């Protein structure tokens, strides 16, 4: 049977249209609704980017102020949700906590109860950091924290809840830039899962829950955790070189390098690397960043591979005092903006997503009744 018409993993297959972002297109790099990721990371806030993705244009100063206040007002967790978070095992994967929290919120505040898709999107953007921080503190110290804060930004809010005190401006901005970089990335696996769910006319929460479950995998969102585990195991740059060469000899996959779409570089990596370097200097770190740079240089030399966003994000998050197992949930905080925008876009011009498949099983067989087998 000839399977030349199929592509493993749908690589190179155009599955739809979007006005939300360009990824790896010649001469364009990464853009959100036409704006370059470089400009957005330099001049915008994550809340501006979320507004842009969800509403199509950059907000005015007044709109941004009102939007920040709106998101700030949506951070509180319902009592029924905090009860569920307390009942989840302390050993739960944090991505499972967010997936469950999203699903529970869909029961408590259903979309078909007069809420628009945009309203659900804003609520999820505001509440995911509160969910994770509440679960974290309850299961590490038995503390039932208040999930409101004076921080106007989602980045500052999460760092404040996590550490119990306001973040420095450098830390807050580093987190804000990271959220911008992770906010949207065309038809990646989790976004496609969200669009597939939306195409069935399912509810908003179901689409986002599907996306979270997809992002959980180490070949997608979990790569930043694996990248930090790699970096942190080496005591020096020289040790990293010896160790990674051994891993390459043994054909072990080095997480955080290469990309399914980008061919020469990940434009987001350049930006987060600058922040990782800045944070390492502030932390007087002489190990993690130098190890990261050496591994980066080695992978270029040995495999001609470039770091993707996950690689330098790993050390940046560590310098922000974030536990490694929370790296992928941070991805959720950011990508909820992109997922939600894709759900809205899918709904606006919907057609059920139902691809075909080449059959590779046995030819026709004659059924044998049970008593004759």
> Where does the chain have alpha helices with state H?
37-43, 46-55, 61-73, 79-87, 94-108, 117-141, 154-163, 169-182, 189-199, 204-215, 223-232, 237-249, 267-282, 288-303, 309-319, 327-348
Q: Is 310 buried (19+), middle (13-18) or exposed (0-12) by CB count in 10 A?
A: buried
CATH number at residue 106: 1.10.580.10
Structural domain count, the chain: 2
Q: What is the CB neighbour count within 10 angstroms for residue 64?
A: 17
Q: Examine residue 66 and state whether it is found in any structural domain, yes or no.
A: yes
Are residues 36 and 116 located together in one domain of the fold? Answer: yes
**Whole domain around residue 102: which residue ranges?**
21-216+324-348
User: What integer pLDDT is reported at residue 8 of this predicted model?
Assistant: 65
Per-position pLDDT tens, the chain of length 373: 344 445 666 666 777 899 999 886 655 689 999 999 999 999 999 999 999 999 999 999 999 999 999 999 999 999 999 999 999 999 999 999 999 999 999 999 999 888 999 999 999 999 999 999 999 999 999 999 999 999 999 999 999 999 999 999 999 999 999 999 999 999 999 999 999 999 999 999 999 999 999 999 887 877 888 899 999 999 999 999 999 999 999 999 888 887 766 767 889 999 999 999 999 999 999 899 999 999 999 999 999 999 999 899 999 999 999 999 999 999 999 999 999 999 999 999 999 999 888 899 999 999 999 999 9
Q: Examine residue 12 and state whether it is found in any structural domain, yes or no.
A: no
Q: Examine residue 133 and state whether it is found in any structural domain, yes or no.
A: yes
Are residues 204 and 255 located together in one domain of the fold? Answer: no
CATH number at residue 277: 1.10.230.10
Q: Examine residue 371 and state whether it is found in any structural domain, yes or no.
A: no
Calculate the alpha carbon distances from 101 to 83, 195, 310, 315 in Å.
Answer: 11, 20, 25, 28
Are residues 89 and 199 located together in one domain of the fold? Answer: yes
Rounded CA Rg of the chain:
22
Are residues 235 and 258 located together in one domain of the fold? Answer: yes
User: What integer pLDDT is reported at residue 6 of this predicted model?
Assistant: 57
Q: Is 259 a catalytic site residue?
A: yes
Are residues 185 and 229 located together in one domain of the fold? Answer: no
Are residues 71 and 138 located together in one domain of the fold? Answer: yes
Q: Is 310 a catalytic site residue?
A: yes
Q: Examine residue 357 and state whether it is found in any structural domain, yes or no.
A: no
- For 263, what's the count of Cα atoms within 13 Å in the CB-facing half-sphere? 5
Q: Choosing from 259, 266, 296, 342, which is the catalytic residue?
A: 259
Q: Examine residue 6 and state whether it is found in any structural domain, yes or no.
A: no
User: What integer pLDDT is reported at residue 226 of this predicted model?
Assistant: 87
The span from the CA of 274 to the CA of 312, in Å, is: 9
User: What integer pLDDT is reported at residue 26 of this predicted model?
Assistant: 56
User: What integer pLDDT is reported at residue 256 of this predicted model?
Assistant: 86
Are residues 295 and 150 located together in one domain of the fold? Answer: no
Q: Examine residue 31 and state whether it is found in any structural domain, yes or no.
A: yes
Q: Do the Cβ atoms of 117 and 111 come closer than 8 Å?
A: yes
Final residue of a structural domain among 273, 298, 319: 319
Residue 33 backbone class (left: φ over 0; alpha: ψ -120 to 50; beta: rest): left
Q: Choosing from 139, 220, 232, 285, which is the catalytic residue?
A: 220
User: What integer pLDDT is reported at residue 218 of this predicted model?
Assistant: 82
Calculate the alpha carbon distances from 219 to 8, 22, 259, 359 in Å.
Answer: 15, 21, 11, 26
Q: Choosing from 176, 185, 310, 342, which is the catalytic residue?
A: 310
Are residues 227 and 281 located together in one domain of the fold? Answer: yes
User: What integer pLDDT is reported at residue 23 of this predicted model?
Assistant: 86
Are residues 310 and 235 located together in one domain of the fold? Answer: yes
Are residues 133 and 277 located together in one domain of the fold? Answer: no
User: What integer pLDDT is reported at residue 4 of this predicted model?
Assistant: 42
Are residues 341 and 286 located together in one domain of the fold? Answer: no
The span from the CA of 272 to the CA of 268, in Å, is: 6
Are residues 336 and 301 located together in one domain of the fold? Answer: no
pTM of the model: 0.93
Q: Examine residue 8 and state whether it is found in any structural domain, yes or no.
A: no
């Amino acid at each position: 049977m000839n399977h030349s018409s199929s592509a493993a993993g749908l690589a190179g297959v155009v599955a739809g249209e979007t006005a939300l972002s360009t990824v790896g297109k010649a001469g364009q790099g990464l853009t959100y609704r036409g704006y370059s990721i470089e400009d957005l990371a330099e001049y915008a806030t994550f809340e501006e980017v979320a507004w842009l993705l969800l509403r199509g244009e950059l907000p005015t100063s007044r709109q941004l102020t009102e939007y920040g206040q709106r998101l700030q007002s949506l951070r509180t967790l319902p009592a029924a949700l905090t009860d569920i978070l307390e009942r989840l095992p302390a050993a739960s994967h944090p991505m499972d906590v967010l997936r469950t929290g999203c699903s529970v919120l869909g029961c408590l505040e259903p979309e078909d109860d007069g809420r628009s898709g945009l309203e659900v999107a804003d609520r999820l953007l505001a509440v995911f950091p509160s969910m994770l921080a509440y679960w974290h503190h309850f299961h590490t110290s038995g503390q039932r924290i208040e999930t409101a804060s004076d921080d106007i930004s989602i980045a500052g809010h999460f760092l404040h809840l996590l550490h119990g005190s306001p973040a420095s401006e450098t830390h807050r901005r580093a987190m804000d830039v990271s959220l911008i970089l992770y906010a949207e990335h065309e038809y990646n696996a989790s976004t496609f899962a969200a669009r597939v769910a939306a195409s069935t006319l399912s509810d908003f929460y179901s689409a986002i829950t599907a996306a979270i479950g997809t992002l959980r995998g180490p070949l997608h969102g979990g790569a930043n955790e694996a990248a930090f585990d790699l970096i942190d195991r080496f005591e020096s740059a020289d040790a990293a070189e010896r160790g990674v060469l051994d891993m390459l000899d043994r054909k072990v996959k080095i997480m955080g390098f290469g990309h399914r779409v980008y061919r020469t570089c990940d434009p987001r990596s350049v930006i987060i690397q600058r922040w990782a370097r800045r944070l390492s200097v502030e932390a007087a770190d002489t190990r993690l960043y130098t190890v990261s740079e050496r591994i980066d240089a080695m992978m270029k030399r040995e495999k001609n591979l470039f770091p993707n966003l996950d690689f330098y994000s790993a050390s940046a998050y560590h310098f922000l005092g974030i536990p490694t197992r929370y790296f992928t949930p941070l991805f959720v905080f950011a990508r909820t903006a992109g997922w939600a925008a894709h759900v809205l876009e899918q709904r606006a011009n919907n057609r059920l997503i139902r691809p075909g498949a080449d059959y590779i099983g046995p030819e026709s067989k004659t059924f044998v009744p049970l008593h004759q087998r």
